Amino acid sequence: MPKIKLPTKTPHIDMTPMVDLFALLLTFFMLTTTFRPQEPAPVDTPFSVSETPSPDANIMTVVLSADNRVFFNLDNGPDTILHFRPKVLAEMGKRYNIVFTDAELRKFEKYGASFGVNIKDMQKFLAATDSKEREVLEKGIPIDSVDNQMALWVLFARQVNPAVKCLIKGDNNVEYPLVKKVLDILQDKNVNRFSLITSLEVVEVVDAKK
């Protein structure tokens, strides 16, 4: 009697369609993610119940760190050809008689994190190669009335991009007088509508019928 030979085939599953799909998804997610650059100072944002996501473009952010330094950040606008960042920096340079080279302007455009440098140190800041060198220069943007660079940044950001929205990102432990000062500067420049960046928190339901 002949033996029944079982076909010795390994059960291969064709993974090609799966790989196809995965590759597609991977490409999609890779292209849609925008990497947030490392922030110069750690900021613990307070919690709130607000569920509105922050806008992607046309924003300027005032960052208040726990050690009461003020940082500023703005974006390049909804389209990269708009080059809002270098334009604002050039305006600032004009005001302080600093001429920024094209290379410096380009570097500033690419530098995505918020910055807290005096405009007079900006060239040194842009020439710095690693974060340690930068950290020394980041003493916070001056906001006192003698040399209110914060107000000028806000002013020029709004001149270059009139649609810009103001975001405030503060640490839990920032003292109120500093917040008040920043709000005053913004209000002086006719910014009356702000968004505070917060983390989402779940709040227990309030019993109103009690």
Partner 1 sequence: MAEIIQGDNHKGGKKKAKKHSTHIDMTPMVDLMCLLITFFMLTTAFSKPKVMEIVLPEKIKKNEKVEPPKIADSRTLNIIVGPNDKVYWYPGKADPAALVPLQETDFSATGIRQILLDRNRALFLKIEQFQQDVITGKLEIKQDSVASAIRQLKKDDDTGPIVLIKFYKKAKYKNLVDIIDEMSIVGIARYIITDINWLEEGMVERALGMPVTVSPTAQK
Residue number, 5 or 29, with CB nearest to partner 1: 29
* 3-state SS assignment for residue 116: coil
Taking CB under 8 A as the rule, does residue 103 contact partner 1? no
Q: Alpha carbon 133 to chain centroid distance? A: 21
- Least Å distance between CB 149 and partner 1? 21
Residue number, 101 or 199, with CB nearest to partner 1: 199
Q: Alpha carbon 189 to chain centroid distance? A: 21
Q: Which helix (H) or strand (E) holds 160?
A: helix 149-160
Whether residue 144 contacts residue 39, with contact meaning beta carbons closer than 8 Å, is answered with: no
Q: What is the DSSP letter of 96?
A: T
- Least Å distance between CB 23 and partner 1? 7
Long-range contacts (CB closer than 8 Å, 24 or more residues apart) made by 117-124: 117/141, 118/142, 118/149, 119/92, 119/93, 119/149, 120/96, 122/89, 122/92, 122/93, 122/98, 123/98
Among 8, 16, 38, 129, binds partner 1 (CB under 8 A): 16
**Residues 23-52, interacting with partner 1 (CB under 8 A):** 23, 25-26, 29-30, 32-34, 36, 45-52
Task: Please compute, for residue 122, the number of CA atoms within 13 A of its CA located in the half-sphere on the CB side.
Answer: 27
Among 60, 62, 64, 74, binds partner 1 (CB under 8 A): 64
Residue number, 59 or 92, with CB nearest to partner 1: 59
- Least Å distance between CB 165 and partner 1? 9
Q: What is the DSSP letter of 56?
A: S
- Least Å distance between CB 176 and partner 1? 4
Binding site for partner 1 (CB under 8 A): 12, 15-16, 18-19, 22-23, 25-26, 29-30, 32-34, 36, 45-55, 64, 167, 169-177, 179-180, 183, 187-188, 190, 192-200, 203-204, 206, 208
